[in-house]
Amino acid sequence: MTIRVLLADDQALLRATFRILIDSCDDMEVVGEASDGTEAVQLTRSHHPDVALMDIRMPGTDGLTATSAICADPELTTTRILILTTFETEDYVAQALRAGASGFLGKDVTADTLLAGLRTVASGEALLSPTATRSLITRFLMSPAAGTHLASPERLADLTVREREVMSLAAEGKTNDEVAEALFVSPLTVRTHIHRAMTKLGARDRAQLVVIAYQTGLVRPTPPTL
């Protein structure tokens, strides 16, 4: 299956470079280019890409606002957002996660890393290392943004005991292999439980599932180590 990608960046030369790189892959194609957040939302609604490669700082509507709009649209649930930016600060990563982004990369990544990131996000996985997951989720949940509401624990009522166990371990930053080892099951079984939990909770991807785990109190955030 071909991964359909939307490019959102205000630098035309950079978009052209990304298009050449992505279109050179047999399993990917660029379906549209946006120069600002407003256009990114409009083109996402028109083309329904699998992944939107989104810059944060753009004139007018920025990438985080566009990400929030896309992720909040019930007709765009199949589109995932990969944030690509020069500004790799924890605050931006936290905001990207709150907005619903599935991944976050700096613009200094290699071509191979970028392509691998697009494939990862398109498959429904989160493009955050276990360490980053632990650190970043903990940080922004310990100091939620104004207007952010934690989810009720009752939201987990439909999950099986095993699904809660898997979700909890994933939220602690463990990989599928590590979860499998801890629970004495296969990685495939872990992946199945993850996807069932995502479906029941309406989570777009693993990143959002991790956020829900913390918001519902399934996993308690701990202060980051200084």
Tokens of 29: 């194609």
- Mean pLDDT in residue range 87-93: 63
Stated as kind and residue range, the H or E segment containing 63 is helix 63-72
pLDDT tens digits for range 133-169:
555 555 655 555 544 445 677 889 999 999 999 999 9
Phi and psi of 221, rounded to 5°?
-65, 145
Give the domains, in start order, of the chain with CATH numbers. Answer: 3-127 (3.40.50.2300), 146-215 (1.10.10.10)
Question: Per-residue pLDDT for 130 more than 70?
Answer: no
Stated as kind and residue range, the H or E segment containing 148 is none
